Chains A and B, each alone.
Chain A
Amino acid sequence: MTIHTQDAALQGGSKSDSDEESLLEMESVTKHFPVKTGFLADIFGTDYVHAVDDVSFDLDRKETLAIVGESGCGKSTLARTIVQLEDPTDGSIRFKGQELTDLSSREIRSLRQDMQMMFQDPKSSLNPRMTVGSIIEEPMKAHDLPRIDGSATDAAPESLDEELVADEGVSKSSYRETRARELLDLVGLSPDAYARYPHEFSGGQQQRINLARALSTNPDLIIFDEPVSALDVSVQAQVLNKIQEIQAQMDLTYLVISHDMGVVRYIADRVAVMYLGHLVELGEAEEVFENPQHPYTDGLLKAIPRPDPRKRGTRNSLEGEVPSPEDPPSGCRFRTRCPELIQPGVGEATLEGLSESVAQARLDTYEMDDEKWKSTLRFLRAVERREFTSEDADHLEQEYFPEGIPSGEPGDVVSEALTLVQKGDIETAATLLMNTFEENSICALERPEYTVEAEIEGEEHLACCHHCRSQ
């Protein structure tokens, strides 16, 4: 073990006396992956997949923070960045006060003892040719634990969350075996599982073995990547209850990556919602679930099928598809699907850095009433997604603007688009509508980031939506 981590252990290792300090501080963490690599890419440049973009949050000791989002939103990349399986492109990650991005790989390796990760698929994360005992002991071996210290008072630690220090006379391997058996007991498996092989266990039991392995180095932080989504529902609660029980017992801090809002509500203290690499909402769990501020969070919650046939059809589905992370939309990344897009001219965007024509357009206010703007937005989306039943202009006008086309400039644009659609030039119509309405909305011009007062739980609530600007 390096001196470095011993220092860390002295400063922040005893968990009780450093409660105020956050265990993990993420600041503007960004991870971009090049689409093409090699020397041609070096010469001509390449596109980047914006997997994680400018994500900041703190993780306090003993809390459970859940990061939710759909596939491709960057939540797993974020987790891999924290454990330094990926180097962040930009930003700072501080773990127990140490800047991880500055450390050498050797230093990071020894620091990983304090942060462990548990993966989704219980089967493929266990080596089928190793016994359960040696699987659990592996991380201790890798970190050469326990430390031998002549001044250690007792032969074996009394509780499982003590520093892994053994007396000179104790053999390391027998120490590890004792600890492995105790951990098996802790996660609810019989200690005689020690000599058996992973395939002899069910999925839920295998996930318990994974948990025991994650606990073996006595970490501070455990990152769970979809801990129960591969398990049957009747077993999910067993594993989640165990995970929570152990957190209280061993004062652990959890970061849970999940797409399952039910699981998140059950175990999380705070929730962060990600969409296309951005954090869109962050707050206390009850606050986010009961008072979602971002239309994406709201849509995600409404999209979940409820186990009640009487609630059928009350669900709204999120429309459209996630845009490519290679070329994410400007401003709010959800704006291309957002049902609450703000009409141009509303909201004060900073005009710095905008070209003159765009800045001029920004100052135009169409002053459509809500009804008219909703119809226009609905029409814009339909043209964008080519979702209409007829290409006849009169028919479309009746379907989307039963109250009549808006007056003035927006009306002219809508009429022009209708004519284009009738001519079959949907592409141009879509571009025209997009450029006039969506691209000039504050949602496209400025990335939203607001903190509102929490209503249900906690004090602050981060909501990255321009609808929160007045609050």
Chain B
Amino acid sequence: MTGDTIFSVEELATEYRTDSGNIRAVDNISFDVNASEIVGIVGESGAGKSAVVKSIFRSLGDNGDIVNGRVRFKEHDIVDIGEDGPNPGMLSDRELRRQVRGNEIAMIMQDPTESLNPVYTVGSQIQEIIQINRDMGAHEAREETISMLREVGIPEPETRYDDYPHEFSGGMRQRVLIAMALGCRPDLIIADEPTTALDVSVEGQILELVRGLKEEFGTSFVWVTHDMGVVAEICDRVNVMYLGEIVEQGPVDDIFHNMHHPYTEALIDSVLSPDEKVEHLEPIRGVMPSPMDAPSGCRFHTRCPDARKVCQRVNPDIDATVDHDAACLKPDEHGYEESQSLENAARQ
């Protein structure tokens, strides 16, 4: 970890056990997050985004295991699993719960309705969290709750404190969750598709709010989404995932204007724009293969317009220490230039 880095994931691999064998949902991924930075994880369904989030919180459920890797948050080793299993420095479940989850790393989920308890008032739910995590008295925590609600743009927070979740609109509920996450003054917030369930106009308001709060509190975010528009709007750096792997990572401007991986390019090109009339959009061919039988070599080669024979054989690496890198053989690695194009090979 470099000086500014507060959170890092190193060579993380996660598997799910199923009746028909193990599925590697996350395969050897590395990324880091600096202080006061929003880092995006973007990919389609089945890319392994949720498995990454669950691995970070060690909440994979009964059939999921982290098989390798290290997740570090400041001085804590949230995950540190090598070939011989967990290393001694790794936090116990109790330590993770007490020291990290909630008060240092908070979470915002996709569906604001499911994340709030319908039988308690919104205020009391936030207040409880603040009281526990920040060691405050009831009165002080109430004041803090009201000021957090004001901070996230809820009008008349003194009155809304006593309202129940169903009395809030979808956008307002997502604001409540953000207030709840921020209430503990965490250094890092993991946001899993937080605006997907919202209308565009509300989404815009929430993204604006988050950007402001990041500046104000210096909070870092891991922002998980499938929407390239949201990534462009809010992230500082981006990791593009495909079938359990990070295929490209770099600063947001590079990802959109100087992308190296054909998948990143295809993903950005397939967003239908409201700004211009497109007569015919050439779709990415095929569908994402099942992680049960991931393709050999580069996992994108079955759908890649630039795939060559060598791509079937060699799985390209990504250099996580470089500012911007892509897992692709196109910059002439492993004899890409000489290799025969797969399309030509199929025609012969």
Q: Which residues of the partner chain A approach B282 to less than 8 Å between Cβ atoms?
A: 237
Rank and list the top 3 A-B pairs by shortest CB-CB distance, nearest first: A262-B272, A305-B229, A317-B204
Q: Which A residues fall within an 8 A CB radius of B?
A: 70-71, 202-205, 232-238, 240-241, 259-266, 285-286, 289, 299-301, 303-312, 315, 317-319, 321-322, 385-387
What mask results when residues 249 to 277 of chain B are scored 1 for a CB within 8 Å of chain A, else 0?
00011001100000000111011111111
Q: Which residues of the partner chain A approach B257 to less than 8 Å between Cβ atoms?
A: 309-310
What mask results when residues 276 to 288 of chain B are scored 1 for a CB within 8 Å of chain A, else 0?
1110111110011
Q: Measured between alpha carbons, how far is A266 from B316 in the docked complex, in Å?
A: 35
In the complex where A232-B226, A235-B283, A260-B272 touch, is A308 in contact with B232 (Cβ < 8 A)?
yes
Q: Measured between alpha carbons, how far is A310 from B233 in the docked complex, in Å?
A: 9
Find the A residue at minimum CB distance from B172. A321
Q: Which residues of the partner chain A approach B252 to less than 8 Å between Cβ atoms?
A: 309
B4 within 8 A of A: no
B44 within 8 A of A: yes
In the complex where A305-B227, A305-B232 touch, is A265 in contact with B203 (Cβ < 8 A)?
no
In the complex where A241-B280, A308-B232 touch, is A318 in contact with B268 (Cβ < 8 A)?
no
Find the A residue at minimum CB distance from B255. A309
Given A237-B284, A240-B281, A386-B156, 14 more A-B residue pairs with CB atoms under 8 Å apart are A234-B266, A235-B287, A237-B281, A237-B282, A241-B280, A241-B281, A289-B274, A303-B201, A306-B232, A306-B233, A307-B232, A309-B232, A312-B233, A318-B205
Q: Measured between alpha carbons, how far is A289 from B274 in the docked complex, in Å?
A: 8
In the complex where A204-B287, A262-B273 touch, is A307 in contact with B204 (Cβ < 8 A)?
no
Residue in B231, B235, B270, B278 whose CB lies within 8 Å of A234: B270
A233→B204 contact, CB < 8 A: no
B297 within 8 A of A: no
Find the A residue at minimum CB distance from B153. A387
A265→B233 contact, CB < 8 A: no
Find the B residue at minimum CB distance from A307. B228
Q: Measured between alpha carbons, how far is A71 from B170 in the docked complex, in Å?
A: 10
> How many interface residues does chain B have, given as a range?
35 or more
B59 within 8 A of A: no
Q: Measured between alpha carbons, how far is A53 from B172 in the docked complex, in Å?
A: 26
Q: Which B residues fall within an 8 A CB radius of A?
A: 44-45, 153, 155-156, 169-172, 199-201, 203-205, 207-208, 226-233, 235, 252-253, 256-257, 266-268, 270-278, 280-284, 287-288
Find the A residue at minimum CB distance from B46. A232
B201→A311 contact, CB < 8 A: no
Q: Can you list 11 A-B contacts (CB < 8 A)?
A: A202-B288, A232-B288, A234-B266, A237-B283, A240-B281, A307-B256, A309-B252, A309-B256, A317-B201, A318-B204, A321-B169
Find the B residue at minimum CB distance from A299. B201
In the complex where A303-B204, A386-B156 touch, is A265 in contact with B272 (Cβ < 8 A)?
yes
B253→A310 contact, CB < 8 A: yes
A234→B200 contact, CB < 8 A: no
Q: Measured between alpha carbons, how far is A300 from B171 in the docked complex, in Å?
A: 16
**Closest Cβ–Cβ distance, residue B126 to chain A (whole Å):** 19
**Closest Cβ–Cβ distance, residue B24 to chain A (whole Å):** 19
| Most B C-beta atoms less than 10 A away, residue of A238, A266, A305, A317 | A305
Residue in B169, B205, B256, B283 whose CB lies within 8 Å of A238: B283
**Closest Cβ–Cβ distance, residue A337 to chain B (whole Å):** 9
Q: Which residues of the partner chain A approach B200 to less than 8 Å between Cβ atoms?
A: 70, 259, 261, 300, 303-305
B253→A309 contact, CB < 8 A: yes
Q: Which residues of the partner chain A approach B227 to less than 8 Å between Cβ atoms?
A: 305
**Closest Cβ–Cβ distance, residue A303 to chain B (whole Å):** 4
A307→B199 contact, CB < 8 A: no
B204→A305 contact, CB < 8 A: yes
Q: Measured between alpha carbons, how far is A240 from B276 in the docked complex, in Å?
A: 17
Q: Measured between alpha carbons, how far is A301 from B274 in the docked complex, in Å?
A: 7
B270→A237 contact, CB < 8 A: yes
Q: Which residues of the partner chain B approach A235 to less than 8 Å between Cβ atoms?
A: 283-284, 287
Q: Which residues of the partner chain B approach A266 to less than 8 Å between Cβ atoms?
A: 272, 277-278, 281
A385→B155 contact, CB < 8 A: yes
A234→B284 contact, CB < 8 A: yes
Q: Which residues of the partner chain A approach B235 to less than 8 Å between Cβ atoms?
A: 309
Residue in A233, A285, A286, A386 whose CB lies within 8 Å of B228: A233
| Most A C-beta atoms less than 10 A away, residue of B156, B169, B274 | B274
Q: Measured between alpha carbons, how far is A232 from B233 in the docked complex, in Å?
A: 19
Find the B residue at minimum CB distance from A315. B204
Q: Measured between alpha carbons, how far is A339 from B288 in the docked complex, in Å?
A: 44
Q: Which residues of the partner chain A approach B199 to less than 8 Å between Cβ atoms?
A: 70-71, 259
Find the B residue at minimum CB distance from A230. B45
| Most A C-beta atoms less than 10 A away, residue of B153, B201, B230 | B201
Q: Which residues of the partner chain B approach A202 to less than 8 Å between Cβ atoms?
A: 287-288
